[in-house]
Amino acid sequence: MEYTDKVMDHFSNPRNMGVIENPDGYGKIGNASCGDIMEIFLKIENDIIVDVKFRTFGCASAIASSSVSTEMVLGKTIDEALEITNKAVVESLGGLPAVKMHCSVLAEEAIKAAIEDYLSKKK
């Protein structure tokens, strides 16, 4: 399986890895077929994502997708972050093998779940 240099960089040196205590938004998504589990923690002020961390149990593609997606949402508004698609995650990584595309979908879904969690707490 061939990975781009950017995938390998994010896998070897993941950005924003860790946990935020008492996050404003939390999302956890798992894929039963491959066993990958992705958690996203958001710190949000005035509807802007001011901090984001992730914890992922999975393959290189899952970790790289998590890492790059956290970079993509940091500093964005909630609405901007909700517009980030798995396709944008894949493009940012310079591509993923076809059998690993589900990893980028997990990243998109985990971010959306964390934002939905935040919005549900705001009400």
The predicted pLDDT at position 1 comes to: 79
* 82: Cβ contacts below 8 Å, ≥ 6 apart: 111, 112, 115
Given the residues 17, 20, 34, 88, select the one marked as catalytic. 34
Residues 17-50 pLDDT 10s: 999 999 999 999 998 788 899 999 999 999 999 9
Architecture of domain 5-122: Alpha-Beta Complex (3.90)
Distance CA 105, CA 101 (A): 7
59 in catalytic set: no
pTM of the predicted model, to two decimals? 0.95
Catalytic residue among 42, 62, 72, 103: 103
Active site residue 103: yes
% of the chain with per-residue pLDDT over 90: 93
- Average pLDDT of span 66-72: 98
